[in-house]
Amino acid sequence: MSAFQDFGPLTERRRAEKQRTQRKRLMIGGASAAVVLLVIVGAACVVNREKTSSEPSRSSTSNAAAAAADSSIHSVSKTVKMLCSPTDYKESCEKALSKAAANSTSSPKDLIKAAVAAIADEVDKSFGRVADSVKSDDPRVRAAVDDCKELFGYAKAELLRTMNGIDAHRLDDLPKKGHELRIWLSSVITDQETCVEGFPEGELKKKMKDGMEAAKHLTSNALAIIGKAPSFLSSLHVPGVSGGRRRLLEAEEGRELRGDGFPAWLSSKERRALKGQAKNNLTPNLVVAKDGTGNFTTINDAINAVPKTYDGRFVIYIKEGVYEEQVIVPKQMVNLTLFGDGSRKTIITGSRNVADGNNMTTYKSATVAVHGDGFVGTGIGFRNTAGAIKHQAVALRVQSDRSVFLNCRMEGYQDTLYAHSMRQFYRNCIISGTVDFIFGDAAAVLQNCILVVRRPLDNQQNIVTAQGRSDGHQPTGFVVHHCRIIPDGRLVPDKLAIRSYLGRPWREYSHTIIMESQIGDFISRDGYLPWDGDFGLKTLSYAEYNNKGAGADTAARVRWPGYRTITSRDDAAKYTVAAFLNGDQWIRSTGTPVRLGLYQ
């Protein structure tokens, strides 16, 4: 069963059965440990099986039993050290895995349970500490607490999904699913970071950050181990696992893609629907129209009317009009399409911002927030009209895995597009703003888009991107591919006086690639701006490849250790849609035009 089938609808009976099964398994918070331990268990089984098959039978004497026990302990210890070798927090990794191995005396299930009991406590504690802040009278703290409670729910869901993804596949399939598992686990780190980010500066915020360190380290360890799974399993000669990623991808594509370019696991009904979508011939399930000619006059009413269970993709057509409402696509609403009459005709607008109220976080300021996986937005404008004077004001926040935005427009000033987490693809979109107006920690590719830099406040500078990767093992980052970066007409007269930059490191391992794009002459020659002193300058990963335009000259770019120009086509190919998002496996099925590789 493909992990992507999680996007498919479940009947209430199947949902109830799934929940009962899940409750019998493991505490949610231990999914990271399970990722690690399933690899250990499988590896240990391989080692022990090979050892057993190569030795003659012998009588069960106490000395032989003791020798076998010592050998088993030695093998497990060696495996633990091998698994922990690529991690940044080896001590905590070895301690957790060794403790789990020591407490397990019978089956692999006992081993997993013993490890999860310790790890789950740490994950729960990290978010549980938020409860200590509830007593505060500070509205900013209460708002941050509310965010944390919501984010904790998302983190648990992703940990559970990671567990289910592992359970659904054999050990030798783990390397092929590694990218997906790491994306889901990465979002757990992002959820923790977002929780902390909402608190006002001070001692409480520091305590929150410190309280989440242990859980973050454990998740980081799991990310590192899964990332090295192919080479690790190859060293143990696990059948079906090769050391080369290209061969694995080719094998997977051969199984999953049919001749029509759609994944083989799609039903015939879904295939017909998607072919129709590719021809811009969508048949809506519901219609929203302000003039009363549809099923509903508001988008929220239409979303609330979407049945809890439905077959295939659910389509809502939003007729021309300006819809002043905050729209949230919930986590459980998967495979939803919203399409409008064009990004200048169908507009969803709001003005929420951080400046107007102490109880508003950047996270909650979004005019539209998308959580449900497999979301597709087409021909819609997402707008936040708070203006530059109100500072943080999000037009669109996206936490939907395998989400696609086609021919859309995101308009704002500071923090316009919050590409929060998961895999996201933007094609033929116009995104405008001033300060950090494309930010977050998603694995996102913007292709054939126009990035419009507006005029900020007189005391501000423009920054196009502020990518927020906080751990080097996260498979996240922003790729700006074959786009145009241009100034707004109101900025043009002041483009020399107001400095504009391509990016700055919001968090320590910020990751941004700009390639095959047209960069205007208003971009500062050094290209990038520090966040705070030398923060992240050695650990960030910024690169440019084959860009054009007066602003693309890299001769005077920053000399940071983390910045580079890419000269190899093979190196640049790592950041294409196919390689960076595994987009060849899911974007085609939405009917969205996509360039999977480089343009030149």
Q: Which positions are catalytic?
A: 436
Question: What span, in angstroms and rounded, lies between the C-alpha atoms of 471 and 468?
Answer: 9
CB atoms within 10 A of CB 221: 27
Cβ atoms 306, 327 nearer than 8 A = no
Torsion of CA 485, 506, 394, 316, to 10 degrees: 80
Question: What span, in angstroms and rounded, lies between the C-alpha atoms of 337 and 284?
Answer: 9
What is the DSSP track for 101-155?
HHH--S-HHHHHHHHHHHHHHHHHHHHHGGGGGTT---HHHHHHHHHHHHHHHHH
Question: Residue with structure tokens 């054939």?
Answer: 448
Put residue 391 in one of left, alpha, beta given phi > 0 → left and psi -120 to 50 → alpha: left
Report the residue count for the chain: 600
Cβ atoms 223, 186 nearer than 8 A = yes
> Which CB contacts under 8 angstroms, 24+ apart, belong to 320-323?
320/345, 320/346, 321/289, 321/290, 321/291, 321/345, 321/346, 321/347, 322/290, 322/347, 322/349, 323/288, 323/290, 323/298, 323/299, 323/347, 323/348, 323/349
* Pairing state between β 417-419 and 435-440: parallel
**How does DSSP classify residue 532?**
S
